[in-house]
Amino acid sequence: MSTSTPLDRQGTHAGYWPSPWPVECGGNRRQKSGTGRLDAADGTANVVTRRDGLWHVMVIERDPGQLYVGGTLPNFSGPPPHGWVERIDPETLAPLAASPKLPCGEHVWCGAILAHANGSIMSVNGSFLHRLDPLDLSILAERQLPADRSHNGLLALSDGTLITKDLRLEGQGGTTITRLEPEHLAVLETIVLPEGSMGRIAADALAAGSIEASDGATDVIYVPGTEHLWRLRAHADRLEVDDWRARYRQANDQWGLAWDACLSDGHCWLMDCGDVLSVRRIHEVEPNGRYQDPPGRDLSWRLPAPWAGAQRLFRIPLDQPEQMQWIEPFGIPGGGIIAPPVHVPEAEIAVAWDSVNGGLAGVATGGDDLELAWHLDIRASMQPVVFPESGELVINDFTKDGNDDLVVVDVTSGQLLDRVSTGSRVANGMFLTAGGSRDVFYCSTTALARVAWR
């Protein structure tokens, strides 16, 4: 089992401001790993919830206690949307500073923010990238991206350059990956993959002098396509598509597309069945997510899945992608998700779920085969966080009465340790963030919350 620290496990490196959570999922490997212990079963949860009309996507930390939340507007019809970033009080969640309205090309989708090594806050939203002052969040640089579509995710590589990509479903052409320098946001390079890509990218820095870096590459980037998981190699002066790839589905088969990957314990972990009807409908119109009339329930992730296959969890060896394995933890036809899995190497457990049918599962990963370890009757939909030291996972449960609770689960046994009401009535696939004081930050449409255990 891994003995590395959570910061090492996350793959946080020189491209970011020194922080335990400077970017979505805490680091480029997307291991969603927080430092310290939560010990929720031995404490009492205190909840602070802020309700407004904003679509909150993620919270990141720059300096200790210096927190930022970013997002967009859920304006699927009516007034044009825009991106936004706030610096918030870590306890009351009140805004301490706010960015101007950030152009997004009128695309409605969840973008990303990060705290860069140069001190700036970077924000991608729709088809625009912004560099913001960390104190007053004024715009220092703005760049309209080459692809006029919504962009999904933003990472910094080990040399500080930025990587982002547009979101394209099956039949919408190849995904455009854009690399930019971090000061003026000048476009350094674009590369178009042979396939579209829905999920966000993951990346890892290569050790200097290693065999993997012998050709001068500094980072590898994993991109979930419509049929394959692709890998790119980043050099100082170029991106190149590696000959490494894993085919996780056939075109037009009985399963849907993959969301983001988690890099852990020498493997890539991902789930398919992600392009549920709401995701398809948002990205089949242009600007993405914009309608003349309110779409209403047509954008619900609870609608039946447009395929017959059960939800799958994949384990793909990074050194032998052809040895890919998968398991159907639930076995119910028409599975579907709107967020990716997580693997916890300390517990040798991967956690997967089926948002459409319901169910949260722990999958034992220590043996040659993937085996179901435990199952809970929970309807999860969002990006979780893990506290490896105490073996706790935090994720949402959208209940039958329409409340979005947070639940704390023992990763090894599947025991439900605590349940906390966030006060939110809207569940989606947004991000949880691990705080540094036995706390977790929750993001959803119209609600932002902090849950702290004492």
269 φ, ψ (degrees, to nearest 5): -115, 130
Which CATH architecture fits 6-453?
7 Propeller (2.130)
Average pLDDT of the residues in 134-148:
98
Share of residues in the chain with pLDDT > 90 (%): 93
What are the angstrom distances between the C-alpha of 244 and each of 74, 189, 228?
Answer: 38, 21, 10
Average pLDDT of the residues in 283-300:
95
Band of residue 137 on the pLDDT scale cut at 50, 70, 90: very high
Run of H or E residues at 423: strand 416-424
Instruction: Output the pLDDT for position 11.
Output: 65
Report the distance separating Cα 181 and Cα 194, nearest Å: 25
Band of residue 99 on the pLDDT scale cut at 50, 70, 90: very high
Run of H or E residues at 125: strand 121-125
Q: Please, what is the average pLDDT of the chain?
A: 95
Report the distance separating Cα 254 and Cα 238, nearest Å: 37
Q: Determine if the peptide bond prior to 18 is cis (ω within 30°).
A: no
What are the angstrom distances between the C-alpha of 270 and each of 200, 346, 387?
Answer: 11, 18, 20
Residue 5 predicted with pLDDT over 80: no
Q: What is the dihedral of CA 330, 334, 339, 342, to 10 degrees?
A: 20
Residue 8 predicted with pLDDT over 60: no
Share of residues in the chain with pLDDT > 70 (%): 97
Band of residue 12 on the pLDDT scale cut at 50, 70, 90: low
Average pLDDT of the residues in 146-163:
96
What are the angstrom distances between the C-alpha of 272 and each of 9, 224, 307, 372?
Answer: 24, 10, 11, 18
> Tell me: the pLDDT tens digits for 224-257?
999 999 999 999 999 999 999 999 999 888 999 9
Taking residue 119's Cβ as centre, other Cβ atoms within 10 Å add up to: 13
Burial category of 356 from C-beta neighbours within 10 Å (exposed 0-12, middle 13-18, buried 19 and up): buried
Instruction: Output the pLDDT for position 253.
Output: 86
With CA atoms as reference, report the closest residue to 383 among 340, 347, 344, 346.
340
Band of residue 268 on the pLDDT scale cut at 50, 70, 90: very high
Residue 172 predicted with pLDDT over 90: yes
Residue 12 bridge partners (DSSP): none
Specify the amino acid at residue 351: V
Residue 10 predicted with pLDDT over 60: yes
Instruction: Output the pLDDT for position 449.
Output: 98
What are the angstrom distances between the C-alpha of 325 and each of 44, 204, 216, 364?
Answer: 40, 22, 31, 13
Q: What's the first-to-final CA gap in the chain, in angstroms?
A: 30
Residue 7 predicted with pLDDT over 90: no
Residues in CB range of 155: below 8 A, 6 or more apart? 15, 23, 28, 114, 162, 163, 164, 201, 202, 203, 221
Burial category of 139 from C-beta neighbours within 10 Å (exposed 0-12, middle 13-18, buried 19 and up): middle
> Tell me: the pLDDT tens digits for 401-454?
999 999 999 999 999 999 999 999 999 999 999 998 999 999 999 999 999 999
Check if the beta carbon of residue 71 is closer than 8 Å to that of residue 99: no
Band of residue 9 on the pLDDT scale cut at 50, 70, 90: low
Check if the beta carbon of residue 162 is closer than 8 Å to that of residue 234: no
Give the rounded distance of the alpha carbon of 27 from its chain centre. 10
Average pLDDT of the residues in 2-26:
75
